Amino acid sequence: MCGFAGFLSASGFDPAVAGAQARAMADRIVYRGPDDSGVWTDAEAGIALAHRRLSIVDLTAAGHQPMASASGRWVIAYNGEAYNHLELRRELQAANAAPAWRGHSDTETLLACIEAWGVATTLERSAGMFAFALWDRQERRLVLARDRAGEKPLYYGWQGDVFLFGSELKALRSHPAFDAALDRDALVLLLRHNYIPSPYSIHQGIRKLPPGTWLALRAGERGMEPLAYWNLAGIAERALAEPFQGGGEEAVDELARVLGAAVAGQQVADVPLGALLSGGIDSTLITALMQAGSSRPVRTFTIGFGEQAHDEAVHARAVAAHLGTDHTELRLSADDALGLIPRLPSMYDEPFADSSQLPTHLVMKLARQHVTVALSGDGGDEFFGGYNRYFLGPKAWQRIGWMPMPVRRALGAAMTAIPASTLNRAANPLARRFGIVLPGDKAHKLGTRLRHVRGMDDLYVSLVTEWPHAEAMVIDGVVPPNLLDERGRWPKLVDPVARMMALDGMTYLPDDILTKVDRASMAASLETRAPFLDREVMEFAWRLPMSMKVRGDQGKWILRRLLERHVPRALFDRPKMGFGIPLDEWLRGPLRDWAASLLDEDRLRREGHFRPAAITRAWRMHQRGEASCGYRLWSVLMFQAWLEGMRAGEGGGRAGGA
């Protein structure tokens, strides 16, 4: 696990100056790789690469980067792990295409594969999480690539005559050429979804490379478009023609094989390794498979809360006791959150508003005190039907979709007219009339959606939207082209729940969940690995019928059946909680003064990014208990905190137009 940065100059450069600039870029993300660093330049070509290394496999100098191939043609700066690299080495050796190996790093393996097979075939054959910058000295071509699921980040873009790229935005901002203005359209998307979806970033002209793609740029060229080497939509569509043919127990056996192989393969490391254990189904299953294959107790880590409604630590503790892991637990308080909030703008590098970013970083920090690598359960929800919207959404639509639009609007208005606190204390209209039991804040959210949706696809988009008309709140902002609004680009899947899951895997998973995990773990210099995102596991999941994922009011049917082979059902069979914090309560309590300062109406108007009326109204309603607007307000708060950090110089450089 590492970080890298670099640039390609169209006007040439002085090697000494360029090397210093590249090193400064990489040093801005030193926490991604505190163990080693390196710089490589080619003055004639105008290319500079810099690398920071967190040593995981091959701790010797043979793993140093940037690394040149055996022939010297290719030079790479690489972030991530290719879990099948030993298998790839054996294939090269069997074909007499292997070089004289200098060490046993996966970086050297990738370079040898590229020399033997080319970039496209190597990407197709590699299994793992990665992003890299590769320079072809023979053809003077720069290649950028990113893993299938989007676990590792990669930003890029032209700034004047300099093409910048790197693992994080702060590295790009450190280059003297960086002068990108704030992208107000990306700010609109942040308010809509609490994250900025690929390919956009908070800066104009700076893009995120989409998952499963690579980009090639020759010296002197400007126009370039990413090429896909793996596409989740295509995988989901092809699965319809090649469904799993066995029954339930056969499917559980096959899942045990592919997921077990992924867990075993992702435990290859030359450093201490553990697991992040929340007590939920996904992390419990990964931990159980780790422990089943280990002769020693696996190190496990969890975060707990003082508020019982958000506290899964007691469940994690029970699971750890049953499995016999070496368990460590940390309790999180509002004071812990207050202490971490000032670091969030620098840690996440661009505004990011998934409030579970707080406990996620703290559990990573806890784990890093004991291990260097930790396995997680990320991806289980998206590929095996874990989110409540996959079963509550269809249920709600089945019971009320037949209503004429005016009646649905009236029902939605009635639900939102009742304060959330009142709905929490009494049966809400959905529960009384339609048997859909939701807490007050969720009932409010669904009631708002019912007033506008005309079908299941509308309902899905509304459920993953926080501020429905965000473009009206951002001065000079519009909704840019994006997947959720361009339904012609959606996967061609008949089942609306399957469409939800595929879209979540293409948007929410890489741009929210995996962004959160990468930044939170890297800020602690911890490598995380997610076996559910193994290629074979993901593709197997899509071949399963929906009945093996979602049944009735419950998801993850097949994961539950496999987990029962390791853990008693009583330890995990309970409603999904999620890894959240008591945000609504904290914004009315210990975080109130901090939030009030950032959301001050005069301040918002003076800074000139927002039309503050809707924000002020939401803040007042939230404080009075008339609505639960914490998650909606968090996106504004995270932008405001990011902006404040940028102005204080904490973002790694100047943000033009901010």
Whether the Cβ atoms of residue 510 and residue 502 lie closer than 8 Å to each other: no
Decide the pairing of beta strands 527-529 and 299-305.
Answer: unpaired
Residue among 160, 155, 157, 141 nearest 76 (CA)? 141
CA distance 33 to 589: 38
* Element containing residue 463 per DSSP (H, E): helix 456-463
Determine the 3-state secondary structure of 126 from DSSP.
Answer: coil
Options 1, 2, 67, 286, the catalytic residue: 2
DSSP 360-395: HHHHHHHHHTT-SEEE--TTHHHHHT-STHHHHHHH
User: Edge-to-edge strands of the sheet including 67-68?
Assistant: 67-68, 74-82, 128-136, 141-146, 213-218, 227-228
Nearest Cα residue to 30 out of 483, 514, 652, 471 = 652
d(CA 502, CA 287): 26
Residues contacting residue 129 through CB under 8 Å, at least 6 positions apart: 80, 81, 147, 149, 151, 152, 529, 530, 533
Distance between CA atoms of residues 443 and 438, nearest Å: 6
User: What is the C-alpha to C-alpha distance for residues 614 and 29, in angstroms, rounded to an integer?
Assistant: 37
What are the structure tokens assigned to 229, written together?
Answer: 């080497």
Taking alpha carbons only, the member of 502, 480, 477 closest to residue 492 is: 502
CA separation for the pair 654, 650 (Å, rounded): 9
Whole-number Å distance between alpha carbons of 94 and 116? 12
Q: Measured between alpha carbons, how far is 444 from 90 in angstroms, rounded to an integer?
A: 57
Q: How many CB atoms neighbour CB 331 within 10 A?
A: 12
Task: List the one residue out of 72, 182, 297 whose CA is nearest residue 654.
Answer: 182
Is position 113 annotated as part of the catalytic site?
no
Catalytic residue set: 2
